[in-house]
Structure 1
């Protein structure tokens, strides 16, 4: 399939693809806030710059796009038909970078989790995921009063 856009226009269009404040990320942020969880956004001092960081429970959460981060078994993780060698390399580097960030965060004592773009359609599913992820971690020995 031939690209119908001129290379300059395609380049401009791709430059508009956002890395932060995406729709799936905003859905997760709204759900976390509604549940009363407090978080920090895009902490650049942490490996991989997690999308949401829950300092109290030491949880780093990435909201990954299925296409760019290769969600296995997801129909959104399709391979473009043009320049497949380029895309294979691009996706392999993305996955490798994600793994390096995960390992580095875990070495620093963070629990790392990923919620995929296709899992953010249902607000109830997001809320259930966040409850399970964060409620478990916040339970610990209580201080005597």
Structure 2
């Protein structure tokens, strides 16, 4: 079973905000004539890359809770211009909404085992149509 990552989505106010930011960055890359791909740069290189690339995703924490994920496509370690080792976590640009799951703030990324991952919201999920604050309250009460 695939291993996942979890990370705070700093600066995003909502899933829609993240989706808009991704679309903007991809369009900027198209116009600049560079490779059009979505990635996040991090200092630490995951040691369990093979497990992550076997169907894993990065789960984004937005405003105190996991709300969505993006599938990991590649992990590319590199050394920046200042000689510091870094890593590009390359994602499928599609954002998949998940059940809201509360999370406290933390730094960097963490591994997230499948047993602890929130489920995806599907088209048949009635809770998907509810406003976030109502979904959050119902989830906290164990009703979603």
TM-score with structure 1 setting the length: 0.23
**Higher normalized strand content (fraction of residues):** 2
| Larger Rg over CA atoms | 1
Q: Which has the higher helix share?
A: 1
